[in-house]
Structure 1
Amino acid sequence: MLTALLTLGIVVWIAFILDAWTGLRKLDALENEAGLVNGPLLTVIVAARNEEQQIKVSIQSQLQQSYENVEWILVNDRSTDQTGKIIDGLACADQRIKSIHIRELPEGWLGKNHALYTGATQASGRWLLFTDADVRYEREAFAKALHYFENNELDHLTAAPNLNAHSFWLKSFVAFFLFGFSYFKRPWRANNPKSKIGTGIGAFNLVSQKAYEAFGTHQRIKMRPDDDLQLGMRMKKEGFSQKMVTALHLIEVEWYESLKEAFVGLEKNTFAGLNYRISMVFLAVFGILLTHFLPFFTIFSGSKTIALLSLGNIVSSGILYLMVIRRMTLFSPALFLVFPITALLFIYSIIRASVLTFKRGGIVWRGTKYRLSDLREKE
């Protein structure tokens, strides 16, 4: 039985390596793109709830962009800190900024999704950029993204930013999360026009206003906590042209400040990413244990066959890890040395999020509770 499972693991790894090798070669780096000097209006929409520590620095980095035909719509989503005042101050200092304050959340909406939708209804731009309140941009980011968007005749462009992390274990966990996301979602498939697989990243989701309206706006995903991913996945599935790029030297976000904060943050969308299905939770946990954890122990087996198959799994996973981490992050591939430990941490985050969702009867996101019965969409 163990021999069969380890053999299956190697087959799976090889299949993903081949898929990643093909896909990652087509994953362009936005840094290499020329910049758009002038063009139509871009509307940047930021939803912010209790972001007083981050939003001012983020918006100031955007105001310095080389592409100048930009307007900003900053949506204060029921903040209880100084976010609203900061947004108003930014709007007073720069006439390109419009502030919107949401006092109540309508039934049937998640807060962020409603805030982004509200901002989009006030947009005048040909392009809409949905971004988060903690993202920092280099001066050429908008210009290069818009040039790439136009050159490739896109409806949707999403960019992978540099995810900054300070502590060793947080870096290891973030690296594993990105690896796991790539392993399960294969985001590079977004660049294959023949594939129905798409992706979206909250730090940078750029869409044409025309395509956004044709898709059905955020009303289509109003109860999805993984709104950024769902926007990209569904647009691609429905035939909209899409590309994913990396922007590791142009866009930066400190995803979480600590490992504990990462576990809390993932409460809202981990179970959602598994479609709120217990069967998917068991499948994910079993798959990670089999391919990411078990070989690191069975390699010490007294059976030569088991040991060699285990080594094959470790080498194969290491090759894929190296490919993904070197292409999609600025982290050191040496983090693979704690791969089995971070695999266990990832399993813990999945189980924790799923149990808490059931225990609470839903998720608690940015101070608001959303019932599980409402989150489970009926397609």
Structure 2
Amino acid sequence: MIIALLISFIFLILRFTVTLFNFLSNPKLPRIGKHYESKLSVLIPARNEADNILTLLRSIYAQDYKNYEVIVLDDNSTDNTYALCEAFANGHDHFKVLKGKPLANGWLGKNYACYQLAKQATGKYYLFLDADEKVEKGLFNSAIHRMNLRDLSLLSLFTNQTMVTFGEKMTVPLMHYILLNLLPLRLVYLIKSAAVAAASGQFMLFNAADYHKYQWHQMAKNKVVEDVEIMKLVKGSQLNGEALLANNMISCRMYSSYSEAVNGFGKNFLAAFNYNIIGFLVYLLLIIGGPAIIVMTLNLNLILMMTGLIALTRVMISLSAGQNALLNVVLHPIQMLSLLFIGLTSIQKHITKTTEWKGRKI
């Protein structure tokens, strides 16, 4: 019991230390007033995104960058995604929509869509965005400034998350919680080893010359967590990559319900652990079982210390991610139960090979 208690507190303190480092180092994309003129290709894979895509396209059209093209690839949607994008493109300069090819053998859907998009792009920079996002003025100039400042081959941003339903609030904050609780984000750029990598497919900005040379999506064509894999490939090629928080310059509503969030996160969580089920279970045991062990001691001082560390951790992460700190503190126990449920569901689907996303088996 003493050993388990000691391990639980060490893990808790280590995660608090990482969170404190992230909070103090403030790894956000700085907002820059300078304007750039290099051509930017905004590339959007879209599969059954009729409910979301126009919000993104309108926000891109309203931004303050002038030299750009937007290419949407309809990835064999079964709704009217293509018709909506075509109508928008017909009325707005710089926009066009393409029909994607049937999914090729050995590829995952999004990776193949991005690969096709890159073949059509003509810009100096390629920016891959998800269809359920909204960009704000200043984003493109600030991101390209960062690319030049750090000589980056890849800049990835973790977007601010829009949450409406209670089910979303029970699950979506887990993404920033796990990220900022486990990885000092500044180290992605500072440490050149590919072992230190993080990225979000919601915002992937590439130097086009490097992209064409290495064909990143083709190299990661069968990877579920292709964003992190590509960051590893970039760094492994001795190029610079950086991952930052979006600083309210781009937002995303990832899921619209609890069940959708469980299914969506379920395809990623185990993949992020390289499908190491034992390692994933150990992580779940430490992050959820550890506090339970401390509570079972009935030692008020230990319980108060644990509660304080967890509460401070949630406050710092929430403020960094632009989320409601008080709500995340209150919902922390429920979110941890959701994490456990998502984790066990992810393992079960992996073992039974029943993982699906948007009608495709993964």
Q: Same fold (TM over 0.5)?
A: yes
CA contact (8 A) 2:8 2:291 kept: no
1:152 pairs with 2:126: no
For the structure 1 residues 355 and 362, does the alpha-carbon distance in structure 2 shift closer, same or farther, using more than 3 Å as the test?
same
What secondary structure sits across from 1:4 in the alignment? helix
After superposition, the C-alpha distances for 1:204-241 in whole angstroms (9 at most, x for unaligned) are: 11111123234432011111122223222432344321
How many angstroms apart in 1 are the aligned matches of 2:100 and 2:89?
A: 16
1:67 pairs with 2:65: yes
Query: Where in structure 2 are the equivalents of 1:46-57 lying within 5 Å?
Result: 46-57=44-55
1:367 pairs with 2:359: yes
For the structure 1 residues 175 and 346, does the alpha-carbon distance in structure 2 shift closer, same or farther, using more than 3 Å as the test?
same
CA contact (8 A) 1:200 1:233 kept: no
- Give, in angstroms, the shift of residue 280 of structure 1: 2.5
For the structure 1 residues 17 and 247, does the alpha-carbon distance in structure 2 shift closer, same or farther, using more than 3 Å as the test?
same
What secondary structure sits across from 2:96 in the alignment? strand
CA contact (8 A) 1:41 1:69 kept: yes
How many angstroms apart in 2 are the aligned matches of 1:124 and 1:189?
A: 32
What secondary structure sits across from 1:174 in the alignment? coil
CA contact (8 A) 1:6 1:310 kept: no
1:312 pairs with 2:305: yes
Query: Where in structure 2 are the equivalents of 1:259-270 lying within 5 Å?
Result: 259-270=258-269
Q: Which amino acid aligns with 2:80?
A: Q
For 1:9, the equivalent position in structure 2 comes to 8
For 1:344, the equivalent position in structure 2 comes to 337
For 1:34, the equivalent position in structure 2 comes to 32
Number of residue equivalences? 361
CA contact (8 A) 1:36 1:67 kept: no
How many angstroms apart in 2 are the aligned matches of 1:54 and 1:61?
A: 12
- Give, in angstroms, the shift of residue 28 of structure 1: 4.0
- Give, in angstroms, the shift of residue 29 of structure 1: 3.2
CA contact (8 A) 1:27 1:245 kept: no
After superposition, the C-alpha distances for 1:299-338 in whole angstroms (9 at most, x for unaligned) are: 6x2xx4xx43343333223332222221123222442233
For the structure 1 residues 176 and 268, does the alpha-carbon distance in structure 2 shift closer, same or farther, using more than 3 Å as the test?
closer
CA contact (8 A) 1:29 1:245 kept: yes
How many angstroms apart in 1 are the aligned matches of 2:19 and 2:238?
A: 22
1:330 pairs with 2:326: no
For 1:374, the equivalent position in structure 2 comes to none
For 1:206, the equivalent position in structure 2 comes to 205
How many angstroms apart in 2 are the aligned matches of 1:43 and 1:282?
A: 41
What is the identity percentage for the equivalent residue pairs of Structure 1 and Structure 2? 24
How many angstroms apart in 2 are the aligned matches of 1:214 and 1:26?
A: 33
- Give, in angstroms, the shift of residue 145 of structure 1: 1.5
Deviates more, 1:310-319 or 1:202-211: 310-319
> CA RMSD, aligned part only?
2.2
Unaligned runs of 5+ in 2: none
1:175 pairs with 2:167: no
CA contact (8 A) 2:59 2:135 kept: yes
Q: Which amino acid aligns with 1:223?
A: N
For 2:102, the equivalent position in structure 1 comes to 104
How many angstroms apart in 2 are the aligned matches of 1:161 and 1:252?
A: 5
TM-score by length of 2: 0.91
How many angstroms apart in 2 are the aligned matches of 1:237 and 1:290?
A: 36
